[in-house]
Amino acid sequence: MIKRLPLLLAVAVLGITSVAPAADARPGRDREQDAAYKARQQGRIMPLRSIESRVMPRMRGAEYLGPELDAGSGTYRLKFMRGGRVIWVDVDARTGDVIGRSGD
The more confident residue out of 77 and 40 is 77
pTM tops 0.85, yes or no: no
Helix, coil or strand: residue 14: helix
Residues 6+ apart with CB under 8 A from 58: 89, 98
Q: Are strands 85-92 and 75-82 parallel, antiparallel or unpaired?
A: antiparallel
The tens digit of pLDDT for each residue in 7-55 reads: 544 545 445 444 444 455 556 667 777 877 888 888 888 999 999 999 9
Residue 95 clears pLDDT 60, i.e. is over it: yes
Closest-CA residue to 93 (of 76, 80, 78, 77):
76
pLDDT, tens digit (0-9, with 9 covering 90-100), for 44-55:
889 999 999 999
CATH code of the domain made up of 28-102: 3.10.450
Query: What percentage of residues in the chain have a pLDDT greater than 70?
Result: 72
What is the residue extent of each domain of the chain?
Answer: 28-102
